[in-house]
Amino acid sequence: MSPNFRSRFLAVAALLIFPAGLLFAQDKAGQKADQVKVDVKTDAKTDVKTDVKTDSWDGNRALATVVDLVKFTPRAMETPGHQKAIDYIVSELKKTKFDAVTQQRWIAREAGRTMAMTNIIARFNPANPRRVIVATHYDSIIKAYRDAKTPDAPMPGANNSGSGVAVLLETARVLSELPEAPPVGIDMIFFDGEEGPLSLGAGDPNFHSIGSPYFTERLAEFYPNAKPEKMLDFDMVCDRDLHLKAEQSGLRSAPLEVKKFWDIGMEVAPHAFERQPAPYAIQDDHTAFHLAGIPSFVVIDFEYEPFYNTTEDTPDKCSAQSLEAVGRTLVKYLYLP
């Protein structure tokens, strides 16, 4: 964690952020509390379904998706690239068995703006009453505000947020080709407005996500009988130097699920998954689900200097191997009992 990262964090229950360089869990009275001490790699092994074939999960194909998305930059609300990204995602989903696609549309009025918003929901095996949400966001930062030379230039958003979209779309393709479906039904959700009403993410002091809270406030429209069992969120996962650490809000919300995912990850790609958790919590689209009482966690490598939210967040900073590490781990995780 670089001392330059000051935002994109949220106080969830007892989690508050503070000193530069290190972010600590704090209690409501403001006293430093213990960090969540969870060793995500223990002697108790996760029962992985070893016969699930993941070698068809193609990192180069996923990276090509990132390249496609960057062509639409910026993908922020009220830009031409925003609708192009929506059309692209829906078109790619229609080629898979995640072809039951709903576009949740509404008008948001925030920060002096009126914005047409769209969450994209794609369901696999919709008859299965057990539901798991796999999510990301597709909107991008409107400008490269952290760029020292051109802070008003478009921010390409290859890693933030193209990588998450790429992981979901490639996973949809792979699951559609496997002979046996997972034991759970899967809802892939591509959220709008994760970067906030000004599309500046951490560059906006009043930053808050829009699309995921809108969805959780209307859960019953999609889940009339029971809430989904859990929610996984993917963001910033194609960094060439990928180091994935379980962050604190996920460890509080879904400790057993985090352990399962990291156990598999350290088996599939030990170079990409860190044994020790991060000392900080991150605000992302999983946050709204945690607050709605649904176990949730985010898979993210937030340590992306010096490219984070600059003009240098381009596909050449991404790695097919990093995408494969995350995607193949996800497929194995989805086949757990």
Instruction: Tell me 32's DSSP state.
Output: B
CA within 13 Å, CB half, 203: 19
In this prediction, residue 51 has a pLDDT band, given cuts at 50, 70 and 90, of: confident
Domain ranges of the chain: 59-334
Place of tokens 């779309």: 169
In whole numbers, what is the pLDDT of the chain averaged over residues? 88
In this prediction, residue 50 has a pLDDT band, given cuts at 50, 70 and 90, of: low
In this prediction, residue 2 has a pLDDT band, given cuts at 50, 70 and 90, of: very low
Average pLDDT value for residue range 176-205 = 97
Residue 320 has pLDDT above 50, yes or no: yes
Around Cβ 256, how many Cβ atoms within 10 Å?
Answer: 11
Average pLDDT value for residue range 262-277 = 97
Predicted confidence at residue 15, as pLDDT, reads 33
Predicted confidence at residue 334, as pLDDT, reads 98
Average pLDDT value for residue range 254-275 = 97
Predicted confidence at residue 31, as pLDDT, reads 27
In this prediction, residue 45 has a pLDDT band, given cuts at 50, 70 and 90, of: low
CA-to-CA dists, residue 167 to 31, 78, 238, 311, 325, angstroms? 39, 25, 9, 22, 10
d(CA 55, CA 1): 32
Percent of the chain topping pLDDT 90: 85
Interacting residues of 240 by C-beta distance below 8 A, sequence separation 6+: 317, 318, 319, 322
- Superfamily covering domain 59-334: Zn peptidases (3.40.630.10)
pTM assigned to the model: 0.89
In this prediction, residue 337 has a pLDDT band, given cuts at 50, 70 and 90, of: confident
CA within 13 Å, CB half, 245: 17
pLDDT digits (tens, 9 = 90+) for 297-311: 999 999 999 999 999
In this prediction, residue 154 has a pLDDT band, given cuts at 50, 70 and 90, of: very high
Question: Higher model confidence: residue 252 or residue 51?
Answer: 252
d(CA 124, CA 135): 13
3-state secondary structure of 151: coil
The neighbouring-strand residues paired with 117 are 106
Predicted confidence at residue 316, as pLDDT, reads 98
Cis, peptide link before residue 306, omega less than 30° from 0: yes
Interacting residues of 92 by C-beta distance below 8 A, sequence separation 6+: 65, 169, 172
In this prediction, residue 276 has a pLDDT band, given cuts at 50, 70 and 90, of: very high
The neighbouring-strand residues paired with 109 are 114
d(CA 9, CA 27): 16
Average pLDDT value for residue range 285-293 = 98
In this prediction, residue 71 has a pLDDT band, given cuts at 50, 70 and 90, of: very high
